[in-house]
């Protein structure tokens, strides 16, 4: 009985970790998509903002 309970706890932990990693990847993909630069539609490169080269 103790072995079965331990197995259930381990399986639950594994499922929790897999679910958390999947959610983190989905959020990272959304963040990457939201912050990706917008491609230019007229074939020119976008101008750099003033002071972009200064730290």
pLDDT given for residue 36 in this prediction: 87
As given in the structure block, the two tokens for residue 38 are: 């917008």
- pLDDT bracket for residue 51 (50, 70, 90): low
Domain ranges of the chain: 1-35
Chain segment 11-47, per-residue pLDDT in tens: 999 999 999 999 999 999 999 999 988 776 776 666 6
Which of 44-50's residues contact partners 24+ apart within 8 Å by CB, and which partners? none
User: b vs e for 7-26, b when ≥16 Cβ sit within 10 Å of the residue's Cβ?
Assistant: eeeeeeeeeeeeeeeeeeee
What pLDDT is attached to residue 2?
A: 95
Full-prediction pTM beyond 0.75? Answer: no
């Amino acid at each position: 009985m103790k072995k079965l309970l331990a197995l259930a706890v381990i399986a639950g932990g594994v499922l929790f970790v897999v679910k958390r990693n999947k959610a983190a990847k989905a959020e990272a993909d959304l963040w990457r998509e939201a912050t990706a630069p917008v491609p230019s539609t007229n074939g020119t490169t976008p101008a750099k903002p003033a002071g972009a080269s200064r730290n």
